[in-house]
Structure 1
């Protein structure tokens, strides 16, 4: 492990990922990635890690003494990958298919170390049960979450529409905190990544 102090960068514009990362008390800045998310990979656990790594590497280019954290989330229904909808009509189709089902949410996380020129990736998976949604609610939701995988967002652990039945709630939100903590732990232990104290 290098002894060089590093800066943590979140390669995502997601406000909810930002909130989850803040809970770990590592100072960080946000630099959204502009990388393409097209891929031929069909296996969801491989795909989310590939896209997370690609986002982190895009932001890491030309940066020194940085740890860049990328993340990507996908919804999978009976083997079919559902990403972000293209428009409200596409969102409606996704929600109609998800309504009344139990499906999986995969989030991949990648950490690029620009000091050592290395990267590590991992993923988490959760199962979500969505209630059978009436047509009027499907129509409303289809216009609300065009930036979310599967066209929906669980608002809380007691969300009235969908419930996490296996795995982590934070993973469904978009950032599996335990996975991120594990990736960052060596840098914190080596005292090259500062951590804020909890006010007493």
Structure 2
């Protein structure tokens, strides 16, 4: 395998891969994110595959990593908010309760004219402390919520509202790096 390519422009995913000591290049995916699935774990796997596939089609002798993260709460899928009002609605739904963060990861290896595929999803439960309307507005004022699924970043100012997590912390940031590392080891041994 000549190179590992991350099919994502996410700075958080880049940081997590670098932190794991994985040497890679970044080639952001331009895939149209069309979802045909309904279950959160299936949605993120489908989107991760679409992103990885769009980049893998332009690569030879590379292992491409695609990823997608969503938040699921009360039967709703929460992506990135498009407005302050949407961010407020999302955070109001999350405060004082437990929700799930799902990240799907797709690995596509192209080598010597052959292609291999591995797709998996990771789930982490996140519990928020109760937040007042003022606290929600003040958090939105930081600007952190606008580019993150569920309108919050656990690695940022929202950390003070996280009561507990059950699962992989890095999954909530945007990439289950420990599971990815283990899958990469298995994948490259085949």
Q: TM-score, normalised by structure 1?
A: 0.85
RMSD, aligned α-carbons: 1.8
Decide which moves more: 129-138 or 48-57. 129-138
Name the counterpart of 1:99: 95
Name the counterpart of 2:167: 167
What does the per-residue CA deviation read over 1:48-105, in whole Å, with 9 as the maximum and x for residues that have no partner? 0010011111111121011110111111112211111122211111111111111111
**Superposed displacement of residue 188, structure 1:** 5.0
Structure number with the higher helix fraction is: 2
5 Å matches for 1:1-200?
A: 5-115=1-111, 116-142=114-140, 143-155=143-155, 159-186=159-186, 189=189
Name the counterpart of 1:196: none
Asked if structure 1 preserves the Cα contact closer than 8 Å seen for 2:153 and 2:159, the reply is no
Q: Secondary structure at the match of 1:178?
A: helix
Q: 1:188 to 1:25 in 2, by over 3 A?
A: farther
Greater length-normalized contact order (CA 8 Å, ≥ 6 residues apart): 1
Q: TM-score, normalised by structure 2?
A: 0.90
**Superposed displacement of residue 16, structure 1:** 1.4
Tell me, in whole angstroms, the C-alpha distance in 2 between the residues paired with 1:93 and 1:16. 24
Q: Secondary structure at the match of 1:160?
A: helix
What does the per-residue CA deviation read over 1:88-129, in whole Å, with 9 as the maximum and x for residues that have no partner? 211111111111111111111110112222211011111101
**Unaligned ranges ≥5, structure 2:** none
Decide which moves more: 81-90 or 51-60. 81-90
Q: Secondary structure at the match of 1:159?
A: helix
